[in-house]
Amino acid sequence: MSFGISAKTRKLLKQHNIVLKKSLGQNFLTDAHVLQHIVDAADLDEESGVIEIGPGLGALTEGLAKQARKVVAIELDNRLIPVLQDMFADQPNVEIIHADALKFDFAQLITEKFGACSQVHVVANLPYYVTSPILVKLLESSLSLTNIVVMIQKEVADRILAKPGSKTYGSLSVFAQYFSEPSKVVQVPSHVFVPRPQVDSMVIKLSIRTVAPVPVENESFFFQVVRASFAKRRKTLLNSLSSSLPFHMEKTRLEQVIHSIGIDPNCRGEMLSMNSFAQLSNVLLRERDGG
Ligand code: SAM
């Protein structure tokens, strides 16, 4: 089966005289099982709307269109647009948009195109170079999404899924886990792509939270404190915060404040749970604002 898709991909590329661009992260998925795994993980039904980022030659789009009410696929490479339009010409529930997902207004798209859908999902086999900026953009812009199912580099997936105390736990873990509940769907070997990428991949699902998991008084300040806590990973929490907080605070006062909420100032940032980060940022916010 995977052989069939691989042959189809090569045939389409040849037919349209398309040479794949490494700079656009064009590694096309050719395994029917993995494609189906991705579609199934999104939990689509006949009322679902799907935003697909980077449809490539439509391998994933096809499966999504069978299960969803509407699929809007956003592709940056203009050479692929006529191929995709031709491919889905007789499927009115698929719309192809030529745009850069990094600059795209997803909120407007949801309002304009998915009014008739009860839930909206994002599904993508993301080019590696845009993974983090696209996920950050989707998560922090309060879009009314149900879930995001993405294939990304395994190394980034590990960071998103990481728990406190692990080496891969960092600001991306806290960020992703604050806005969603991430889970692993499947690990994907490099040989199922054309061409074969240099890194291993993983499909993860981010189930979007409707309520914040911890009480945070100021979200942007919370993420500044999280980033400052991980800024100097080899240093203690106190030293990392002391040199990276976005406002000045005497080190002795900072130490007292960290202590006052039951956190050891000499631990590393990677030991803090999301709840501890919330407490820390709330108390530091009061210090900053002179309360
Ligand atoms: N979905 C296809 C698959 O699974 O085989 C292709 C995936 S390939 C890894 C990534 C696709 O994203 C390519 O088609 C590439 O042209 C497109 N792409 C790259 N950067 C993009 C961007 N900023 N916005 C939209 N699409 C982009």
Q: For position 82, which CATH number holds? A: 3.40.50.150
pLDDT score, position 291? 65
Q: With H, G, I as helix, E, B as strand and everything else as coil, classify residue 215.
A: coil
Residue 1 belongs to a domain: no
pLDDT score, position 242? 96
- The residue range of the domain holding 176 is 7-208
DSSP letters of 36-60? HHHHHHT---TTEEEEEE--TTSHH
Q: Are 176 and 237 within one domain? A: no
**Number of domains, the chain:** 2
Q: Are 180 and 43 within one domain? A: yes
Predicted TM-score (pTM) of the model is 0.94
pLDDT score, position 278? 98
Residue 77 CA: nearest ligand 1 atom is 16
pLDDT for 79-98, tens place per residue? 999 999 999 999 999 999 99
pLDDT score, position 128? 86
pLDDT score, position 142? 87
Place of tokens 């007789």: 90
pLDDT score, position 6? 74
In one-letter notation, the amino acid at residue 105 is D
DSSP letters of 56-117? TTSHHHHHHHHHSSEEEEEE--TTTHHHHHHHTTT-TTEEEEE--GGG--HHHHHHHH-TT-
Residue 29 CA: nearest ligand 1 atom is 5
158 ligand 1 Cβ < 6 A? no
Residue 235 belongs to a domain: yes
pLDDT score, position 61? 97
Residue 214 belongs to a domain: no
pLDDT score, position 181? 98
Q: Are 168 and 192 within one domain? A: yes
pLDDT for 171-198, tens place per residue? 999 999 999 999 999 999 999 998 899 8
Quick check: 237 and 229 in contact, CB under 8 A? yes
What separation in Å is there between the alpha carbon of 11 and the centre of ligand 1? Answer: 18
pLDDT score, position 220? 95
Residue 213 belongs to a domain: no
Residue 193 CA: nearest ligand 1 atom is 5
d(CA 230, CA 225): 9
Percentage with pLDDT > 70 across the chain: 98
Q: Residue 229's domain is classified under what CATH number?
A: 1.10.8.100
The structure tokens listed for 212 are: 């914040």
75 ligand 1 Cβ < 6 A? yes
Q: Are 67 and 200 within one domain? A: yes
199 ligand 1 Cβ < 6 A? no
Residues of the chain with pLDDT under 50: 1-3
